[in-house]
Amino acid sequence: MKNQIIRLPEVIERTALSRSTIYALIKSGNFPQQIQLGLRSVGWVEQEINDWIKSRVKVSRKDFGVTQ
């Protein structure tokens, strides 16, 4: 599997989080760290974002007593 890099607009779309929330979660260690692409550009490893989303679903299901 090859790693794709996705930019912030796609991360926002996939996670339904705002830009400020994403950066707050990164700062608190609860969201995948972005990688530097250039002097003024960053991106995220797509698989890390997918894994984060899956972990949120798992936690949500656990909190509501739903098993998978």
Mean pLDDT confidence for 15-21: 98
Q: Which domains does the chain have, with CATH numbers?
A: 5-63 (1.10.238)
pLDDT band at 27 (very low <50, low <70, confident <90, very high): very high
What is the predicted pLDDT for the residue at 3? 83
Cα 15 to Cα 26, 38, 59, 67: the distances in Å are 13, 24, 15, 22
Kindly tell me if the per-residue pLDDT of 67 is higher than 90: no
Name the token pair of 45.
């490893």
Measured CA to CA, the distance from residue 31 to residue 11 in angstroms comes to 11
Kindly tell me if the per-residue pLDDT of 64 is higher than 80: no
* Helix, strand or coil, per DSSP, at residue 19: helix
What is the predicted pLDDT for the residue at 26? 98
Beta pairing partners, 42: 36
Kindly tell me if the per-residue pLDDT of 66 is higher than 70: no
Residues 6+ apart with CB under 8 A from 67: 61
